[in-house]
Structure formats: C-alpha cells, structure tokens
Structure 1
Amino acid sequence: MRADPEADVEPGVRESGVREPDVRESDVRESDVREPGVRTHRRQDAVVYLAYLALSGWVTGRLWLGLGDRMTDGGKGGNEDIRLFEWYFAYVARAVRQLENPFVTHLQNMPDGVNLMSNTGMVGLGVPLAPVTWLAGPTVTANLVVCLALFATASAWYFVLSRYLVASPLAAALGGALCGFSPGMVAHTRGHLNFIAQFLIPLIIALALRMREPGRHVRRGIWLGALVAWQVLIGEEALFLYFVASGVFVAGYALLRPREVRDLVPRFLTGLAVAAGTALVLLGYPLWLQFFGPQSYHTVPFVSGHGADLASYLATPQLALTGSQSANVDLALNAAEENTFYTIPYVVLAGVVAIWLWRSTMVRALVVTAGVLVLLSLGKTLEVAGHHTGVPLPWRVLAELPLLDSVLPARFGLVVGTILAILTALGVDAAMAGLRASEVGGSRVPRFVAGGLLLAVLLPLVPRPVPTIPVGFPVPDFVTSGQWRPYVRDGRSLVPIPFPDVKDASGLRWAAVTGVPFAVPGGYFIGPDAEGRGRFGPPPRPTFELLSAVAATGKRAEVSDADRETARADLAHWRADVVVLGRHRHVDALRQTLDALLGPSRRVSDVWLWDL
C-alpha cells in the first residue's frame, strides 16, 4: 500500500520520482536484519506513543488538578454533555454489575425510559471501563476517556500510517498527531466523548484495505466485523461519516484505476460479506432496539440544517496556541463543533502536497474525497463569513435520505481533517526521501530549512489545554449517604430539583455519582415526539415548565389551584415518591414555589424534601 504503482512509473522509483534502494533478498540473510529492525521499530513506536501520551496529558491536564472535581468546559450551553456521559458510564457500570440490559433503561425519563442505542450510550467503552467507574466514579471515567481517546486515536493512525502508507517514522508520527489532535478532535473534548473515541476507525480502514491481499479473507472479515460492531457501540455517527468518506474514496479510485479495482472486487466482496455477517450477528439485537425498540425515533430534524461556514476552513481554532476563545465564535454552531477550523497555512500546505504528488492515484482520490466532503459539510445553502448567500447545495436533497437525515453535516469536516493529515504525512515522507537523495557530504541545511517551514505552518494547530470548570454544587449528603432510600419504593422515582433536562442535567449527576440507584423523571436524551420524530427530552409537562422557569429566572411563581391539581397529575405520571431540592443559586424561589404547589417542606439532612 505504501507504493501506489502507476503503469508509467519505472520499477524501484517512487511516484515522487525518487528511486528506492535496490536491495536483493540474496544480499543479506534474514537473520541479519529482522531482529535489529524489529527492535528499532519498537523503540520508534514507544517514543511516538509516549509523545502522544504527553501531548494528551498537556491537553487534558487541568482535568486532573482535582481528581473527579472538574470537567471540561463546553462553553455556552454545552456543559451538560459531560454530565450526560457521566450518567451513561454510571448506568452501564450498574448494568454490568447487576446483569441488566445496557441498551435500554427506565432509570431516566421515568416512566417511559430511554433507548441508549438511539442515543450516545457508549456501551462499548462503558463496559470495559466499568471497574474504573466502580472504584473512582463516573467523573474520573469521563475524564479518563477524554485523555485516552486522543492518545489512542493518534496512536492508531500512526500505526496504520507507519505500516501501510509512509516509510518515514517522522511522517507517520506527524500524521498520527494531526489526526488524533486535529482541531475538530480537540474541540469535541468539550462534551462529545463519542466523537473523540475514534481509535478503531483507522484499524477498520486498514483491515478493509487488506482485503485486496490474497488469502485469509474469512479471518480478516471476522476481525473487521468485530471491530465495526465495537465502534458502533462506542460512536456510530463517527463510523458513518468515515463510511461515507470511504465510499467516495473507493468510487474515485475506481474511476482512476478501473482495471485494478475490477480485478480486486471478488476479494473485497468475499471479505466484506464475512465482515457484514459478523457485524450483524453481534449487532442484531442492539440495532433492532435502535430503530424499532421502545423510545426509538426515525429522524432528527433539528440537526440536518447545521452546515459549516466556508470561511471556517481557513479560520484558527479557539483551542490552538495561536487561537482565541473570543475569535471566530460565529463560524461554528458552538465551541465543541469546530469541525472545520484548519487555518490558511495548513490548507495551503495540503494543497501544495496534492499538486506535488498529483501523479499518485491515491492522492488524487484523497483530493476528490476531500472536495466532496467539504461540499457536504456546508449544509443546505452556502454561507461565507456569516453571509447567507442562498446558493443551494446538494445537502438540501441528501438530508431527506434515511440515516443522513440524522447527521450534522458540518461534522464531515472532521474527516476532511484526517485527509489533510494523510496528505501532510505523504508530503513529509516524499520530502524526506528527496532530501536523503539530494544531500551531499552529509549537509543538514536542507532538512533544517524544510523542518523550519513545516514547523511554521503547523504551529498554529498545536492545541492548548482544554478549559475546565468545577463539576458544580456537591451532590447532597442526603443522596450520597443513602438517606433517600426509605422515601422511594421500588418502581417509583425521586424528583431532583431543578428538574433534569438538556439545560440543567445536575439532577442526573445525583444519580450518576451514587451508581444510578434511583429513577428520575425527565433527563437529557433524544426520544420520540408524538409523530415518532426525535426531540430532546420528553414532551414537556406543565409542572416541569413552571419549575424550570423559576430555576432559570429566580422569580417565585404565582401558583393557582389549577397548578396544584396539574402538579399532582404530573407527579403521578412520573411515579414520584419524593421531591428533593438541594443547593441552587435560586433555592429560596424554588422552595417557596414548591411549598405553594405541594405544601410545606421538611429539612432533612442538607436538602428540602416533599414526601409524597
């Protein structure tokens, strides 16, 4: 795979025009080179992996200032995502311990429950990390995922690049870093753990490409199917984005090299058929739940319109060394969705590499793929630097198709970043080969100059530490000590105030840090509306809206007899046994409103309580 041979390229010559050394197998004995070469390779790998781990520690270092006391700052409106993942990890750990169904639960959104396969339950990481959650709690698990996901994704891309695409260790290490620590990946650390855990995707791509080799199709197909199934249980939207990108790449490659692809089709089909069968066996039940099970939905209409601004591809990301958290804020949906921020120098560098290595079929196919993905990422209409041009784009039609109707188009920009990283790695690899061939008398000046230029181009992409915030008010001792247990019967719920929802999920954290021992109404999830379309949270009930308004404004609500009757009906629907109010910035207004709705409260431990 390293050499992409062209019919008109002389044997022994790279496509960049640099001749590779002609070494005959008879010139050296295998025993003379294998062990030293393996040891050198392993030392190089170890150094690269340690560098990635150090970089990941640099990016996430603030999370560990107080173990379990801080979380990534998602920016305006984005801090509830981490609390959601904490709840997921806590619930999956509970499911493992008690042998419950990890894909569906009634401990959130009582009594209807939540379909975790239709959400981002991350069962594929929650299960193996269950011991961490049991021992250290879900906050530590979530922070550990943020740190290790960046490291593991960069390491996986380095492994694939160094084994299959480039000869230079420097090129592979740089490419892996640009993939694992791309601006989009670093941005998604601010709340979207399912998008930064991409360490299986490069392995899936490499294994799929190895299907063109003769033999072992069944074994490779089984491994491929197993990896695909695991990635689906971690984050299937990221896998879907790369699936679309891979389809575009294969189509482009087939148009450029039809004879080669035609000859390889039987091998690919055999291996892919085995992989598909394996994945379906492993995912049959979870996928049925996702698309046809309780609380499933068929579309997410509120995401398909969010396309990227074309100018964002040349913008500097907020979390880069040269970036600013106050700049370019209008070019992305929010701070965690900077999927397309790659800076002018980096885009120019990738363009120069593409022109230089244009003879390579793989490079041309990568450029075509990047162009298609950029077009898809722009959404339904073209927007440039905040200006809505009104020019219609293909996504206007594609967004109506199944599966695509639930995709945020701007996220295709994440895969564009991977393509830019691969092009950069290919360019550095070709440059290193050219410098080795052109150096005379051991001069290092050319390498020094080239390295300086590369550093100047990539420096704006070096990430800064991700901002963090305290996890919030401590979970009440009433909850952590188990004092709540006499008040809540089996099959009933505890109502934390403020009511858990997408704007304030602190009530979910009460359950998460205690291992999800009790059910709560509402929550942060996507479920079906009356027509089966996706919506955030359950359809709002009057009591929820009344209490949410008080929590947001701090103004006590005027309560009528009709409000009291409605509250009794809502609490009966939620199967509530007790309402609990902990520390809150508007605790007085909330307590006075609840007293008016439910009668006088009692102070128990460190909470106000209404025993129903």
Structure 2
Amino acid sequence: MTAAEISALSEVDTATDTGVATDTGVATDIGAGSPLAAPVAAPVRNTATWRKRWLVAAGILAMFCALSVALFWNGWTALGSRVYGGGDAILFSWYLAWTPYAISHGLDPFVTHFLNAPDGVNIMWSTGVPLLGVVAAPITVLAGPLVAFQVLTTLAPALSGWVMFLVMRRWTAAFPAAVAGLLYGFSPYIIGASYGHLHLSFALFPPILVLLLDDLLIRQRTVTRTGGLLGAAVAAQALISEEVLATSAVVAVIGIAILCMGHRDQVRPRAAAAVRGLAVCAVVATVLLAWPLYIQFFGPQRVHGSIQPSDIAVSDLLTFATPTPLQALGPDVAVRESLRFSGNAVEVSGYVGLPLLALLAFIAVRLRRNPLVAVCAPLFAVVAVLSLGPHLHVGGRGTRIPLPWRLLELGPVLHNALPSRLSLYLALAASVMIALWLDQARPPRLRAATGVVAAAALVPLVPATPITFSTATPRFFTGPQVDNLPAAATALVVPYPYPQQNIAMLWQAQADFRFAMPGCYCTVPDRFGRSSFHPETDPLNSALIAVATGQSTAAAALRQPGLAATFDRYHLNTIILGPSDHHDELVTLLTGLAGAPGRYVDGVDLWLLDSAPGRS
C-alpha cells in the first residue's frame, strides 16, 4: 500500500449546497481551526461554505436535542421528582451536588467525609464525574441536583451523537454523518447507560479519539498540538469515566494494529512523529490528572481488587440478534429471551439486529478497499468477541469455553471494566461503516435506495421510552428547619443508605450537606482494603436494614449484642427518620437507641441528641 493510498484515510469532502460530497477529497492542513471542525478541501477557505456547514451542524444538534427531550419527556413532566435509574440516579445526583459544594467551600472534591462517616469516601474510586459536576454546577446551584441530572441525562445522547456527526464530516457529507450520529448517540448502549449511569452515557470521547488519532497517525501535521489536544481529551474523559477511557485505549490499540497490518510499509516512516505526539499526550494528561490520580492511588480510603464480579455483565452470543426491553419494536418472545441473559438488563446493550448485521457484512465486502472500512469491519468483529467476556454465554447459560477477554482482565484497570459495555464501540464502528456506505452512493436513484435500506436496518434499534422512578423529599431537608441542626453535625439518617436504598444521599445533597452521615452507596474498602459498595456490616446498620425491610422487629433488634455500643461509637448529634416502610417499627427502634421519643418536623421524625464530638 502506497503513501498516496493511505492518505485517503484523511480525505475530506467538499460539501456542495445540496449536502452531497464531491469525489475530489484531498488531505488538508489540520493546523487551522478546531479539531472538531472538518476542514474544507480548497486552499482558501470559503466563508459562506463554512458558515453553512456550521448552520447545518447547529440544525443537527437541535434535532438530536429534540429527539432526546422527546425520549426523556417523562422526566421533564415532573422535573426534580422523577429520575432514570433508581439508586444509580440518586448516586450521580449526589456527585453532581458534591463537586460544586466542595469547590465553593474549599474542600477536596475527590475525598468526602460527609458519607460513610467518620471514615469517608475516596470519590475517585466511585465514578464521581467531577468534570460533569463542574459543567452542571450552575444548574445544580439554581435548581438542584435532580434537575441537573435530568438535563445531563437528556443531553448525553444528543451531544454524543452530535460529536459523532462532526467527526464524520471529515469523511462524508452531512446526511451520512447525521445518520452516523443518530446511530451512535441513540444506540442501545447509550440508552441503556441512561438508566442512571451518567459516566457511561456521556460518550463524547470515542469519536474525538478517532479524529485525533487520524490527525496523529495519518495526517501527522502539527503533531505536538495534536498530542496536547489528545492529552487534554484523555484527562477530561478520566474525570468522567476511567472505564470508558481504559476500554477506548484497548479498542484504539486494536484499531491501530489492524491499520498497521494493512499498511506495513507506512509504519516505520510514521512511527517517530506518532511517538512524539503520544509522548506529548502523556505529559499533558499526567500534569492535568496528577492531583486526582494521586488521591485515587495514594489518598485515604483507596481500595484494591475487582469492584465488579467477573463473568456476569457480558454479551451473550445471542445478544447481537436478540432485542431487549431497551427496544421499542422487539417481539415479546425475543424480549423475554433477552431477560435470561446474565447481568443487569440495562447492561445487555449489544443488540445490533439481523438486518443491520447483514448490511454491515455487505458493506465490509462492498467497500473493502475503503481504508476506514478496512479498519472498522475487523474492529467490529474483534470487539464483539471481546464483549462476550472471559467465557462464552449462550442463551443465558455460561460455558467453560475460554475467550480472549479472560487474558485482558488479568491486567490492571481492565479487571474492573464490564465486557458488555464494549458495545459502545460496536455502535461506533457500525456508525462509521453506515455513513461511508451512504456517502459513496452518487446517482440520486442509488442514494434513495441506500437510504431506504439503511432505514430498514436501523428501525429495529429504535429505543423504547425509558422508565422513570419517583422520588420524594421531606420539606425538612429543603426548608429552614434543617439549619437548626448543630454545626458540623453527624446525623443517622434512616432509611439507612446502602446500595438497595440510598434516598438518604439525595436528602443530604438537597440539604446542602448540612450534616455528615454513616452509610453510603459508594466504593469503600473493607477491613482488608478490598472494594465494597457499602460499609462493612455492623450491629447498627444490620438492625436498621433488617427492620426497614421487615426481616426483624424493633424489639428483636434492640436485643442484638453490641447495638448500643456501635450506636455510641458514631458520636451522633441527631437522628432523622424520613418516609420509610415499617415506619412505626423504626420509630420504636430509634426511640430505644436515643433513650427518648423524637418529634415530628416537616415530614421527618427528629431526635436531637446530647452534644457529641464533631467530625474532624
């Protein structure tokens, strides 16, 4: 393969007024303009053409936002009281509130002692999305964390798809790029991640990585600047999701290996510049991430070991052809079959559909000489195999057949990644291939035919309307009464916060962190330093959970050995009991612990205890 042929990877269309690419794409200087702005082919920029391109881009963004608002409309009709994802939505709403609070109060945004009191939590081990917390801070401060969560949840598919559109404009006309953005931004992966996994649904980084790697490896102009931009993008992604950053790196390495195998004669002449750019990337990312990574690996409450169990959240062999509850048009029998697959239903996001699989196979053959297709087609196949996890699962049943992911999860970082989430990169590769195929259709009749075929292949992926979960916050936490708590108070808030019931975390955030509290749904170390999603069981939290879930009575819990001693160890200033199942039994239990009855204040039962030492 010659240098001229490989340069086709960086060809860019000259868009006509009809939005159809011409056949005269040429490599252009990436040194001018934003990396997301597709450069024009002409030596001199045409201002009118650029203005029109960005007007089209603005229109596509508006369309994607409208689609996303329609999809998440149920959350907008009851803004601040409905969420997507239940407990995970509460978790991320807490994070969105914590970041601006910590920064405005001069606290470390990566460590908190307001949860899991008195030990605290290392936020960097708990998907704390600090960058999104900063970006959404004005909304959080003005309207509260639940509204900020709803806004970001709605923006995630639209912005992810729009960035994909902008990236594909480098190689295709507007319409094919818009189809790529639609497929990527509203893919089963991103819709599934919208159920509370804010760190996963904001998937802007993978398309940007494609763009910057094209600049670095193929165009190789202004390599230092490209390396700096890549380093900044890496740092930004690390402050949203380290898992997506790690899996993006794995997929990028695979893609680069495929590229090198197809263009062996170009590896050596391009290696020096590529290494120089990657070195700049490493320096920039290291500088930007020095503080948070130091806290993560050397700070308090750090953990070790796997956060997620292995061989559970994987793609079943039938996943790719079996619709799930995430699809609007899936036959009931097929959807019921998908519910047998291992892992959480929203993590089963590798559905592609038989029509699209057939179309991708056709494109892989039809456009096999296209350099991008020559990379994306085998990349799709390799990533699909990796998403199957360490052992093959068929029809919901695990087998002992080992698969390549088994080797990858032995290394650092990746043992905490979930293979099923690699479906993000299936959507990415499929989007690129579909866009290139649509773009190569030149005669109007052929364009119409390819459009119809593409639509038929994509219809099975139309997402179902996500299900909302209602929340309720007693007025005590948002009204003036919460300010009567002692300064630096430590409160026992019931229902006790743990993974299955963490509403108390939302109440704390809505009270503007007036108090610290025991318990949490977050990643904390156990007594051996291994990761856990909740503090270790003790007589107090086990009694509170048992009574709240109806597994024990207050009388039986009060007889539990060590209960009173554990209660005293927390040095509590107050007890707050909000709405809960088995409320009367909890009142009896808490009254026994406090030694006196509480009083009802603005929707909660409140016990103000004798003065206790505040937290350090």
TM-score > 0.5 by shorter chain: yes
Q: For 1:8 and 1:559, how far apart are their aligned partners in 2?
A: 74
Q: For 2:499 and 2:307, how far apart are their aligned partners in 1?
A: 17
Question: Structure 1 unaligned runs (5+)?
Answer: 437-443
Give the one of 322, 328, 331 matched to 1:321.
328
- Note if contact 2:136-2:148 (Cα within 8 Å) is conserved in structure 1: yes
| Matched length | 580
Give the one of 403, 419, 423 matched to 1:409.
419
2:99 counterpart residue number:
92
Alignment of 1:254-273 (within 5 A): 254-273=260-279
The answer to whether residue 199 in structure 2 is matched with residue 202 in structure 1 is no
2:460 counterpart residue number:
460
Q: Which has the higher contact order (CA 8 A, sep 6+)?
A: 1
AA aligned to 2:464 is R
Shift of 1:273: 0.7
Distance 1:30 1:264, change over 3 A: closer
2:66 counterpart residue number:
54
- Note if contact 1:183-1:317 (Cα within 8 Å) is conserved in structure 2: no
Give the one of 485, 496, 499 matched to 1:499.
496
Q: For 1:560 and 1:173, how far apart are their aligned partners in 2?
A: 60
Q: For 1:594 and 1:411, how far apart are their aligned partners in 2?
A: 43
1:481 counterpart residue number:
479
2:18 counterpart residue number:
none
Q: For 1:454 and 1:399, how far apart are their aligned partners in 2?
A: 36
Shift of 1:512: 1.3
Distance 1:506 1:172, change over 3 A: same
AA aligned to 1:599 is G
Residue aligned with 1:500, SS: coil
Q: For 2:303 and 2:42, how far apart are their aligned partners in 1?
A: 59
The answer to whether residue 165 in structure 2 is matched with residue 158 in structure 1 is yes
Residue aligned with 2:352, SS: coil
Alignment of 1:54-453 (within 5 A): 54-72=66-84, 74=85, 79-163=86-170, 165-166=171-172, 168-212=173-217, 213-300=219-306, 302-306=308-312, 307-323=314-330, 327=336, 328-331=338-341, 333-430=343-440, 432-433=441-442, 436=443, 444-453=444-453
Distance 1:255 1:112, change over 3 A: same
Q: For 2:210 and 2:411, how far apart are their aligned partners in 1?
A: 25
- Note if contact 1:297-1:534 (Cα within 8 Å) is conserved in structure 2: yes
- Note if contact 2:547-2:557 (Cα within 8 Å) is conserved in structure 1: no
Shift of 1:390: 2.1
Deviations 1:390-440 (A, max 9, x none): 21222333322211111112111221221111111122122x23xx2xxxx
1:589 counterpart residue number:
585
Alignment of 1:549-560 (within 5 A): 549-553=546-550, 555-559=552-556
Q: For 1:578 and 1:40, how far apart are their aligned partners in 2?
A: 61
Q: For 1:304 and 1:271, how far apart are their aligned partners in 2?
A: 35
Shift of 1:486: 4.1
Q: For 1:94 and 1:342, how far apart are their aligned partners in 2?
A: 42
1:38 counterpart residue number:
50
Alignment of 1:14-25 (within 5 A): 20=23
- Note if contact 2:390-2:403 (Cα within 8 Å) is conserved in structure 1: yes
Q: For 1:335 and 1:125, how far apart are their aligned partners in 2?
A: 26
- Note if contact 2:591-2:598 (Cα within 8 Å) is conserved in structure 1: no
CA RMSD of aligned residues (A): 2.8
Deviations 1:252-306 (A, max 9, x none): 1111211112211111111111111011011011111112211111222533322
- Note if contact 1:179-1:421 (Cα within 8 Å) is conserved in structure 2: yes
Shift of 1:465: 2.5
- Note if contact 2:90-2:506 (Cα within 8 Å) is conserved in structure 1: yes
AA aligned to 1:503 is Q
- Note if contact 1:190-1:335 (Cα within 8 Å) is conserved in structure 2: no
Distance 1:58 1:561, change over 3 A: closer
* Bigger mean CA offset, 151-160 vs 417-426: 417-426
Question: Structure 2 unaligned runs (5+)?
Answer: 14-20, 29-40, 610-616
* Bigger mean CA offset, 200-209 vs 511-520: 200-209
- Note if contact 2:157-2:186 (Cα within 8 Å) is conserved in structure 1: yes
2:31 counterpart residue number:
none
Distance 1:609 1:423, change over 3 A: same
